[in-house]
């Protein structure tokens, strides 16, 4: 593709990603409410708080395990058959699973909700195929900046999504609204995205991969990530960073409700503020700093900054300190995540970008499963635990990256 065509494709892809992540972020404030809220939970009033936390964890764990299988499988399919066809199939699958979630809420069926979230995890590879399409269209020099499009889209989605989701879920805004309403709205968004993809997006992949792959590629990916010398340290770093991030995300709203008494709308506003920071970090800060300093040096600075942000959040007792801590933590996260992914992607051939990003997603899915499974019982007694966990594992990520990646490669040069 020419540079002009690439620009057009980036714009179309950006709209698709924004709509996709808008629909995903509309659900962010809802699942903790659906499971743990004393008044709105599908479990009612007779179930203990500890049981509800484990039920919420089960949703995240099943999602993570399914994504561990689904994301690299669809990533491999997209390398073989093209990004466009696979994305279209996943959008159709998403329409089905969001309808299932809405029905599970209406009939207060946790089992159906668990099945639908597992389906969502298996179909949760859209962002990573979109990242592969960005990688297809990018030079090595521009890859980190262009992958920041996903962060900008996530930021925009996180600004608008929680606000829209919480507004549609509040029956006080309209008698017809309920916790199921946002999921019916998401059906419309996914249908719109399917039409945009079909009519306007041209296939970005030019070098198709003919090698065979397995539906269990995700499990193989974990072995590959830690066995290939060129990738090993980057994936170890990614594992620790993601373990802290996902544990934080799973229970952040629980902390907001427990410590600050935030209701659904206040939680949505806090997430919108976080999304604004993410969009600014990846849309403004990341391109400027990457061009001037390079990704390696940025990670050496922002990995410890991320750890400090977690620790500050753990100490937050007032809303101003909460907002300052979130600014530091989200800004650092907005630099570290695309930075690590860009370094990983740059060490892979162009015809295996989907598989490479699938490996990265396998690591992220693996990282999301372990801490929640091991540590959920601690959250019931101390809501600061996920933040302290994030502080420790992110500092470990920094020391590993600095000692084995940054320092060694600098010395080699």
- Say what the pLDDT of residue 278 is: 84
**Residue 208 resides in a domain:** no
Helical spans, DSSP H, in 228-352: 229-260, 264-280, 286-293, 295-315, 319-346
pLDDT tens figures, 124-157: 778 778 888 887 877 766 766 677 767 677 777 7
Residue 373 within a domain: yes
Q: Determine the pLDDT at residue 3.
A: 53
State pLDDT tens for residues 337-381. 888 888 888 877 766 666 677 677 778 878 877 766 665 656 666
* DSSP notation for 114-143: HHHHHHHHHTTTHHHHHHHHHHHT--TTTH
User: Is residue 83 within 8 Å of 197, Cβ to Cβ?
Assistant: no
| CB 372, CB 247: distance < 8 Å | yes
Please indicate, yes or no, if residue 287 is contained in any of the structural domains. yes
Task: Indicate whether 211 belongs to any domain.
Answer: no
Tell me the whole-structure pTM to 2 decimals: 0.77
Give a yes or no: residue 385 inside a domain: yes
Confidence of residue 250 (pLDDT cuts 50, 70, 90): confident
In a domain? residue 67: yes
Three-state DSSP at 283 gives: helix
At residue 412 the predicted structure's pLDDT band, cuts being 50, 70 and 90, is: very low
Taking only the tens place, the pLDDT of each residue in 200-230 is 888 887 777 766 767 777 777 778 777 877 7
Counted domains in the chain: 1
Q: What range does the domain containing 374 cover?
A: 3-202+217-412
161 near 26, Cβ under 8 Å? Answer: yes
pLDDT tens sequence across 67-123: 888 877 887 788 888 889 999 999 999 999 999 999 999 998 999 999 999 998 888
Instruction: With respect to residue 210, please indicate whether it lies within any of the assigned structural domains.
Output: no
**Residue 334 near residue 277, CB atoms below 8 Å:** yes
Read off the CATH number of the domain in which 261 is found: 1.20.1250.20
By CB atoms closer than 10 A (0-12, 13-18, 19+), residue 412 is: exposed
Spatial contact of 16 and 161, defined as CB atoms under 8 Å apart = no
């Amino acid at each position: 593709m020419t540079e002009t065509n690439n620009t057009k494709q980036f714009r179309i892809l950006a709209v698709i990603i924004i709509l996709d992540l808008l629909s995903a972020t509309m659900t962010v404030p809802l699942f903790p409410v659906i499971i743990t809220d004393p008044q709105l939970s599908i479990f009612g009033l007779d179930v203990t708080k500890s049981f509800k936390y484990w039920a919420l964890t089960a949703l995240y764990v099943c999602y993570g395990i399914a994504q561990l299988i689904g994301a690299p499988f669809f990533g491999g399919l997209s390398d073989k058959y093209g990004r466009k066809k696979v994305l279209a199939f996943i959008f159709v699958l998403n329409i089905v699973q969001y309808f299932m979630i809405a029905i599970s809420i209406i009939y207060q069926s946790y089992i159906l909700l668990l099945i639908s979230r597992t389906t969502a995890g298996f179909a949760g590879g859209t962002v990573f195929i979109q990242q592969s399409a960005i990688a297809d269209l990018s030079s090595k020099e521009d890859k980190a900046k262009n992958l920041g499009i996903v962060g900008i889209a996530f930021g925009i989605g996180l600004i608008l999504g929680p606000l829209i989701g919480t507004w549609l879920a509040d029956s006080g805004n309209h008698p017809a609204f309920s916790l199921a309403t946002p999921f019916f709205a998401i059906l419309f968004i996914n249908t719109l995205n399917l039409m945009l993809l079909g009519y306007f997006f041209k296939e970005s992949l030019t070098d198709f991969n003919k090698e065979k792959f397995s539906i269990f590629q995700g499990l193989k990916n974990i072995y590959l990530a830690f066995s290939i010398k060129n990738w090993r340290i980057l994936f170890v770093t990614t594992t620790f960073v993601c373990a802290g991030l996902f544990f934080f995300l799973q229970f952040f709203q629980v902390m907001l409700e427990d410590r600050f008494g935030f209701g659904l709308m206040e939680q949505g506003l806090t997430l919108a503020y976080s999304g604004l920071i993410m969009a600014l970090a990846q849309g403004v800060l990341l391109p400027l700093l990457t061009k001037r300093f390079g990704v390696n040096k940025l990670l050496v600075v922002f990995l410890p900054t991320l750890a400090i942000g977690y620790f500050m959040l753990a100490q937050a007792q007032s809303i101003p300190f909460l907002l300052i801590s979130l600014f530091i933590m989200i800004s650092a996260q907005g630099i570290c995540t695309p930075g690590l992914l860009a370094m990983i992607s740059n060490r892979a051939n162009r015809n295996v970008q989907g598989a490479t990003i699938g490996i990265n997603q396998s690591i992220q899915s693996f990282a999301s499963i372990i801490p929640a499974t091991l540590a959920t019982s601690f959250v019931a007694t101390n809501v600061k635990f996920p933040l302290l966990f994030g502080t420790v594992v992110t500092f470990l990520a920094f020391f590993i990256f600095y000692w084995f990646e940054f320092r060694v490669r600098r010395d080699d040069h």
